[in-house]
Amino acid sequence: MVKTAIFYGSSTGNTESVAKRISEKINADLYDVAKKPINEIAEYDNLILGTSTTGIGDLQTDWEDFISDFSNADISGKVIAIFALGDSDSFSDSFVGSMEKIYQEVKNKGCKIVGFTNTDGYEYDESPSIINGQFVGLALDEDNQAELTEERINNWLDQIKQEFK
């Protein structure tokens, strides 16, 4: 059976809450990267990686501690989709910068990265997570645009479900 898991890192609960919402919608297993779920990676065909942004465009702290273990695991052949939370008002020059950090770590590991999204409807000055005019995953802003989160998640899931195994 094809299996999907969400690996998330969350400092104050926003990313955790989004990860739970996504897992309920698609019946995916849920892992907090603070618990270093390295052995669990092998069980899954599809991986959704969720992080919040800290510092100036940095990875969430638990992800920072886990990312090299994760990217050194055998993730070749897996389908990966990334989402990140940020605050486009207070951190308008580094909006969802954490997403790009994950992308850079996994992009040359033989996995298929899916779920790029367009930047329409967001209000920020700069984001490091845009490549060829698209976010490298799903950007969410619970601080300023929480009312758009549900629709953004649903649209994104429709998109990535087509590309998942």
Ligand X SMILES: Cc1cc2nc3c(=O)[nH]c(=O)nc-3n(C[C@H](O)[C@H](O)[C@H](O)COP(=O)(O)O)c2cc1C
List of residues contacting ligand X (CB under 6 A): 10-15, 52-57, 60, 85-87, 91, 94-97, 142-143
- 10 contacts 80 by C-beta, under 8 angstroms: no
Smallest distance, ligand X to C-beta of residue 109, A: 25
Residue showing tokens 């969430």: 60
Q: How far apart are CA 139 and CA 57, in angstroms?
A: 13
Per-residue three-class SS string for 139-165 = EECCCCCHHHHHHHHHHHHHHHHHHCC
Residue (of 32, 39, 26) closest to 165 by Cα position: 26
4 or 15: whose CB is closer to ligand X?
Answer: 15
Smallest distance, ligand X to C-beta of residue 14, A: 3
Smallest distance, ligand X to C-beta of residue 61, A: 9
13 or 110: whose CB is closer to ligand X?
Answer: 13
Smallest distance, ligand X to C-beta of residue 163, A: 25
Q: How far apart are CA 77 and CA 9, in angstroms?
A: 23
19 or 47: whose CB is closer to ligand X?
Answer: 19
11 or 71: whose CB is closer to ligand X?
Answer: 11
Q: How far apart are CA 14 and CA 40, in angstroms?
A: 23
